[in-house]
Amino acid sequence: MTNPLSPKQRQFLDFIHRYSLKNGQPPSYQEIMDGLHFSSLGTVHWYVNTLTEAGYLTRAKGPNGKRALTLTSEHATTGAVALARLPLLGLIAAGEPIEALENAETVDVPLPFVHPDNFVLKVKGDSMIEDNIEDGDYIIVRKTRTARPGQAVVALINGEATLKRFVPRRDHIELHPRNPNYPVIQIRPQDQFQINGVVLYSFRTY
């Protein structure tokens, strides 16, 4: 069982929630330092290390780890953030594209992420592991047909859904995995392509 959160630890985790909801990605260490008015990055490191060891926070390893902070379900279930429910619309491939399967299930999510345009997908595959999104994780997605360069998106390619990073080029669009074992997907002129949503948050259950 995890230790109770102090008020400052709750504030730290809630800042990550709010930032992720607003910007579609977790904050960097520098953005946390600025947002919480810490005097040094060492303070951010201390909170991240403490909350990771306590089971409230996970982070990706490697060079992208400082922006791949994810709150675990432990944070939500301890009452740090109230829960509500969003529809689980099916599976999304973080590998080769597969069809998203629609069903009537719902999933508990932190209350700040509840919005009429938000929904949940369960991830199948490991092409996004450098973004700390692993096989079996859940992602909260905001419905939209547009995205900023570099955002993680749910995209439809010829009717099949996939999860990748959106990288527009001058004369074409690329979808980038976050695992070097997978190739970049190039959208050809004859392909039917659309963005169905951007990823706001990822979480896993234990």
Quick check: is 164 catalytic? yes
Cα–Cα distance for residue pair 132/3, rounded to 1 Å: 24
What φ, ψ does residue 20 adopt, rounded to 5°? -60, -40
CA 41 from centroid of its chain's CA atoms: 23
pLDDT, tens digit (0-9, with 9 covering 90-100), for 156-177: 999 888 999 999 999 999 999 9
The pLDDT value given to residue 196? 92
Check whether 10 has a pLDDT greater than 60.
yes
Check whether 62 has a pLDDT greater than 50.
no
Using pLDDT thresholds of 50, 70 and 90, give the confidence band for residue 33: very high
The pLDDT value given to residue 112? 72
Using pLDDT thresholds of 50, 70 and 90, give the confidence band for residue 64: very low
Domain with CATH 2.10.109.10 in the chain: 83-203
81 vs 187 pLDDT, higher one: 187
Q: Which of 40, 127, 143, 202 is catalytic?
A: 127
Residues 6+ apart with CB under 8 A from 114: 84, 85, 86
Q: What is the mean pLDDT of the chain?
A: 81
Q: 83-203 in CATH: which number?
A: 2.10.109.10
Q: Which of 20, 66, 122, 164 is catalytic?
A: 164
Q: 7-77 in CATH: which number?
A: 1.10.10.10
CB 70 within 8 A of CB 6: no
User: Could you tell me the CA-to-CA distances from 202 to 21, 23, 56, 133, 141 in Å, in that order?
Assistant: 11, 14, 13, 7, 9
- Lowest mean pLDDT of 74-88, 100-114, 138-152, name the range: 74-88
The pLDDT value given to residue 76? 44
Check whether 12 has a pLDDT greater than 60.
yes
Check whether 30 has a pLDDT greater than 50.
yes
3-class SS shares of the chain: helix, strand, coil, % to 5: 25, 35, 40
Quick check: is 127 catalytic? yes
Using pLDDT thresholds of 50, 70 and 90, give the confidence band for residue 134: confident
What integer is the mean pLDDT of 181-204? Answer: 91
Domain with CATH 1.10.10.10 in the chain: 7-77
Tell me the pairing of strands 106-110 and 138-143. unpaired
Tally of CB atoms within 10 A around 193: 14
Q: What is the pTM of this model?
A: 0.63
Residues 6+ apart with CB under 8 A from 163: 92, 93, 94, 121, 123, 127, 128, 133, 139, 152, 153, 154, 155, 199
- 41-53 vs 29-36: helix axis angle to the nearest 10? 110
